[in-house]
Amino acid sequence: MVDIRAALEAIKASPYKEVRVLAPHTGVVRFAGDLAAGALVEGPGGLWKEKLGTRLATIERERNPQPITSPEKGQISRIRRELDGAFVQAGEELLLLRHYLSREEVLEEVLKQALFLFVAPERARYFFVPDVDIKIKVSGPKAVTVREGDDLFIMSRMKRETSLRYAGPGGVIYAVYFTHTRHVDAGRPLIGVCPPDLVAEIEDVVRRVQTEWQEQA
C-alpha cells in the first residue's frame, strides 16, 4: 500500500527536482558571462513555450555556435566553470539546476502516487452510466466503488454513443475530472481511483499541501 504521508515528507525533505544540463554534442563550451552558482534562471515561456529559457552557455562545433538554454525555471546549484572554453564530449554535464516544485507540481506528484488515473481513449464527451450517475449525484463520487470491467462510462461522439468499461485497479472514485458538457481530449484523465481506506489520508495530504506549501524561488 502506498504511504502517502511518507511520500509527502520525502518531497518536503527535498522540495525540488534536480535537472542536469548536458552537452548536446561535442564542441567548445562558453558559459554565459555572469552566470554563477546560486543564480536564478527562467525556463521556456509563452503560451506555447515558444520563448526559450535563459541562455546558459554556447557550444560551438564546426564554426556553428549553438545556444544552450535552461529547460526549467530554477536555481543553478553547480556550474562547471572549469569547462569554459574547453572542448567537451556529448553528454558531459555542464550545469546542475535545482527546480523548486510548485504547489500544483507537488499535488500532481502526490496524487500520481496515490491515484490510478483512468484516461479518455479518444476525444469525446463522457457520461457516467445512469445508475452510477445517480449515485454520484446523490452521495458524491466517493460513494462509488469500481472494479475492472465495470460498464462505467458512455462515450458520445459525432452522433454515436458507445459504452466504455473501466480498466484498472479496483477502488473508489476519488475525483472526477470531466463534465458531460465538455469534450475531453484523448489521454486526459476522466477519473482518479484509489483504495477506499486511503481516501481520508489523501484528503488530508491535499489539504495540507494547499494550505502549507511554500513555493520557493
Partner 1 sequence: MEQDKLVLHLAERLAYIRDVFGGERRENIHLLTTKLEDYRLRESGLSPEERREAVLALKDLFSVVESKLEAALTPMNRVRIVRHPQRVCLRDILENVYDNYTEIGGQDEHSIDPAIVIARAYLTRKLGKVTVNQSVMVIGHEKGHGQEFRNGGSAKPWGNAKALQYMRVAETENIPVHTYVFTPGAFPIEDTPGAAQQIAANLYGMSSLRVPVITVFSEGGSGGAEAVALADKRLMFSHGYYSVISPEGAAAIEGHARDGERVSPDLVKTCAARMRITAQDNLRMGYIDRIIQEPCLGARSHHYEFFRGLRQELLRATDEVALTVRGFAPIRFIALRNRRKQVTKGMDFEKAYVRWNLSQAAQIRLINKRHKKYRDLSRHAAPDHTPASRHLIGLWQELRWGVYSYFKYNLLRRHRQRVSDSLGELKSEWNLLWDRALAPIRHILQKLRGPSSRVSAETARQLTELSEWDDDQEQRGNWIYVSPRAREDRAVTCPNSREFGCLDIWGPDLYGEFAGVCPNCGHHFPMEYQWYLHNLFDPGSFFEFSADVEASNPLDMPDLDAKLAEAKQRTGHKSGCLTFEARIHDIRLVVAMFLGSFRNGTVGAAEGEKFIRAAERAKRKRFPFLAYVHATGGIRIQEGTNGLIQMPRCTMAVRRYIDAGGLYLVAYDTNSYAGPVASFLGCSPYQFGIRSANVGFAGPGVIAETTGLSLEPHYHNVYKALARGHIQGIWDRREVRYNLNQALQTMGGRNLYYK
Which of 13-21, 44-52, 108-116, 177-185 is the region at the interface with partner 1 (rule: CB under 8 A)? 44-52
Tell me if 66 contacts partner 1 by CB under 8 A: yes
Q: Nearest 5°: phi and psi at 10?
A: -60, -40
Least gap, CB of 47 to partner 1 (angstroms): 5
CA–CA distance, 100 with 110 (Å, rounded to integer): 15
Which of residues 13, 36, 64, 160 is near partner 1 by CB under 8 A? 64
Which of 11-19, 61-69, 97-105, 125-133 is the region at the interface with partner 1 (rule: CB under 8 A)? 61-69
Least gap, CB of 25 to partner 1 (angstroms): 7
- Residue 94 contacts residue 80 (beta carbons within 8 Å): yes
Distances (CA, A) of 167 to 11, 31, 119, 148, 149: 30, 50, 10, 5, 6
Instruction: Rank residues 63 and 160 by Cβ distance to partner 1 and give the closer one.
Output: 63
Q: Three cell numbers at 129?
A: 452510466
Tell me if 25 contacts partner 1 by CB under 8 A: yes
Distances (CA, A) of 182 to 68, 96, 126, 138: 40, 42, 8, 22
Q: Which residues bind partner 1 (CB under 8 A)?
A: 25, 46-48, 50, 61-64, 66
